[in-house]
A and B are shown apart, each in its own frame.
Chain A
Amino acid sequence: GQSLEQPSEVTAVEGAIVQINCTYQTSGFYGLSWYQQHDGGAPTFLSYNALDGLEETGRFSSFLSRSDSYGYLLLQELQMKDSASYFCASNSGYALNFGKGTSLLVTP
C-alpha cells in the first residue's frame, strides 16, 4: 500500500521561510514530487527528487532522504501568492500517489 503524511495546515508571514514535511510508506518508490494547487485550480508541478539531497528551483527547494522515508518542501521569501495547498506525491513507477495536502496561509 501507499501512504503519505503531511501537516494539514501551516501559517507563515510574508517574507519568511516555511518548511512542509512529508513522510511516506510505499511499496515501490522511485521518487518524491511536490505540487502546488490554488483553490479551484489544477495542481502544478514544483519539484521532483529521485535521489537523496536538496534540489533548488528559485525560491523553492525540495529535500529527500530515502533511508528515512522523508522529504520536505522549503519555500523562501514567502509571497501572498504562495497561499495555496501543497501536495507531496510518491512515484511508484507507473503513477503518483498523493498525500492529503498542506494548506499554506501567508499573512501580511
Chain B
Amino acid sequence: DGGITQSPKYLFRKEGQNVTLSCEQNLNHDAMYWYRQDPGQGLRLIYYSQIVNDFQKGDIAEGYSVSREKKESFPLTVTSAQKNPTAFYLCASSPRRQGSTPGEKLFFGSGTQLSVL
C-alpha cells in the first residue's frame, strides 16, 4: 500500500543533542513538507521541498535542518539550537500535476511526538 511513513512515533531529546526524524513516502510525490503542531496552535510550516535536491524554509525554520537527496525521503533534524522542540511533527507530501499547484491536497504521515528529557 502507498503512503507516508514517519519514524519513530515517539522520540526523546537530551539537552544539546541533535535528533533526526524520518519521513519516507512511496506515493511518487514530488513535493514534501514538514509541519510542527503545538496544542492550540494549528500546523506551522518548517521546511518544504518541491523537487529532489531543493528545499525552502517555511515560517519557523530556525533550529531545524532538512535534506532531500532522494525523492522518497525528507528527513528533519532538530538541532540543539531549537530551544523549545517539544511538539508533534508531521510530514506530508503532495503530487505535482500539470495545471494544479502542489498545495491542493496533502497526504500526511502519522506523526512523531518529540519530547525533551
Chain A residues at the B interface, C-beta cutoff of 8 Å? 8, 30-31, 33, 35, 41-45, 48, 50, 87, 89, 91-101
Choose from B45, B90, B107 the contact partner of A95 (Cβ within 8 Å).
B45
Residues of A within 8 A of B45 (CB): 95-97
Q: Which of B75-93 contact A (CB under 8 A)?
A: 90
Binds A, one of B11-19, B21-29, B35-43, B65-73: B35-43
Residues of B in contact (CB 8 Å), total: 25
Choose from A30, A45, A50 the contact partner of B106 (Cβ within 8 Å).
A45
Bound-complex Cα distance A41 to B105 (A): 17
B104 on the A face (CB < 8 A): yes
Residues of B within 8 A of A35 (CB): 106
- Are the CB atoms of B42 and A95 closer together than 8 Å? no
- Are the CB atoms of B43 and A43 closer together than 8 Å? yes
What total of A-B pairs shows CB separation below 8 Å? 69
**Smallest CB-CB separation from A96: which chain B residue?**
B103
Contact A33:B104 (CB < 8 A) given known A42-B90, A100-B42:
yes
Residues of B within 8 A of A94 (CB): 48, 50, 56, 101-103
Q: 9 closest A-B pairs (Cβ-Cβ)?
A: A91-B103, A100-B42, A42-B108, A98-B43, A98-B42, A96-B103, A95-B48, A93-B101, A30-B101
- Interchain nearest-CB distance for A85 vs B (Å): 9
Contact A100:B103 (CB < 8 A) given known A41-B110, A95-B33:
no
Bound-complex Cα distance A107 to B40 (A): 22
A-B contact pairs, 8 of them (CB 8 A): A30-B101, A31-B101, A48-B104, A92-B103, A96-B33, A96-B106, A98-B43, A99-B42
Choose from A43, A50, A93, A100 the contact partner of B40 (Cβ within 8 Å).
A100
Choose from A30, A45, A93, A98 the contact partner of B105 (Cβ within 8 Å).
A45
Residues of A within 8 A of B8 (CB): none
- Interchain nearest-CB distance for A8 vs B (Å): 8
Contact A42:B103 (CB < 8 A) given known A98-B43, A100-B40:
no
Choose from B58, B103, B109, B111 the contact partner of A93 (Cβ within 8 Å).
B103
